[in-house]
Structure 1
Amino acid sequence: MKRQTLAMILVSIVLLLLLIPISIAVMILLDISDISKLFPYSVSSLIITGIGIVLSALIVGFLAKIAALKIYKEEKSAKVAFLAVFFIAVLISAYSINIPRIGPSPQKVIYYTLYENEVYVNPYFGKISLPFEEKDWTKEHGLRPSGYLKREEGIVNGSSGFVFQNITGVYIGIFVYPNSQESPKCENALQDLEERLKNRGWQEVEVPPEALEKRNFIGRLINAKMLQQGSKAVYLECSDVMAYGRLIILYGEKKEVIELASILS
């Protein structure tokens, strides 16, 4: 019995040592999957992290159960081994897994763009996220590009708050493209949109410095354009973010578009 217990302890230690690589593999698979679209972006990373922790712990727990069945030859001991290893794995994962550490992905590019703007920090409530609401609009306005890996679009309306009250309705589209160093798809998409707008009578205007001098920029600017028609403006920006090409499209009143462009990471 002592030998069996010692063998089970050694197997459990080995499995728990494998927990981190298993967790990373699970998190990467979840991160690049479309499961994130089921949840609001403001909480999707937390939900995906929780799912990843449970799945990783289940995998390690089931492996421990299989090992226990081989060692003890009885179901009761196998169940005990499963539960013990599962709960230990959950605790380890909860303290060791963090979405931003796993690596870049299209999902993270979008998340950081919308929700990691540390410009506005309230001493009581912490970071204040953009008042973003999902809404498909680029296709309707003839501004949807092609060839992207992932997209998120919607509207930013801060009229009911006290931080972003100057932005009452700016449409935003974020499109993530393959590695900007290896593929010019992001910049090509920007140029295509610029040409489309000019063909519809939009006039190119100088991009205001405040739109380019971002307060919390997380990437490298490749190209930016602004076009105007009446009081409306469209801001197009292609950047290298986390080794991906990120195309941002903003549409709305010119002053509000400039304000939002200066805020986005």
Structure 2
Amino acid sequence: MQSVQIFLPHDAVKPYIGYYGFFTHEIDGWTKDYILPLPALREHTIQIFPDEVPNLFSTQREFSVARCNIFGMADRSFLNSHMPRKCRRLQISFTPTGLFHLTGIPAPSFTNSLVDAREVWGPAVNTLVEQLMANTDLRRQATLLDAFFLDLIQARKKIHHQPEIAGVATDIFSRPFPFDIRAMAQRCHKSTRQFERNFKEHVGISAQRFNTLNRFIHANVMKHKQPQKSWEAIAFACGYYDLHHLAKDFAALGRSNITTFRGYDYPGDVVVAKQH
């Protein structure tokens, strides 16, 4: 069983943070831990584990997971999560360009990796985690998170923002159908090459790859909301050439066969892998 409560951030924080998600995982009837393949993810997030910290590993290497981590956007499925039978998790999801704006660090530095948040924001992270663990009220925890990010926003006021890139990335994020790269570049008054370079710096991956990843997520959200809808209809609605095209994305981005796929849960359109 997995439960989640979603809180929206303070209005001044919303350009950078999409939501705060408070997750509780519990596998009823299990007496051992479980291993869960993680799908590709279109968001940079902060993951805080107030209880036991899970292990993350891939076929290449293990990842050292701290109490508070920045999880970069994953443009492919390559991680497995070795989860305890019971755990709590706080997920802070950035808007597409929010992590870059709050750190000043080019977003590709975080893509397909995870970083101890203390390496980016220093001892303030320890203070935040201690405050969160000392307060069990979720609304109070959301207020503490607002205060933390408001301080970061104040400190980053002089960073050079490119609101047109943020606008395009947000539009891609919110719509299932792929965007034309040249049209997006024209909208930002940039050449295609300059647009792609700026987009990758702000978001973490190329606009074309972000299109692909976003379409896959929207297809799964659509299936979750309309389970009676056929995968063929969903593929067409999300701009795939055909069902085979969507199935190829399942293999690369979800490590799953579309014919046996059980799907993901999307409370509030938040990506949550179903527990089997």
Task: Give yes or no for TM over 0.5.
Answer: no
Task: Tell which structure's C-alpha radius of gyration is larger.
Answer: 1
> What's the TM-score once normalised by structure 1's chain length?
0.26
- Going by fraction, where is helix more abundant, 1 or 2? 1
> What's the TM-score once normalised by structure 2's chain length?
0.25
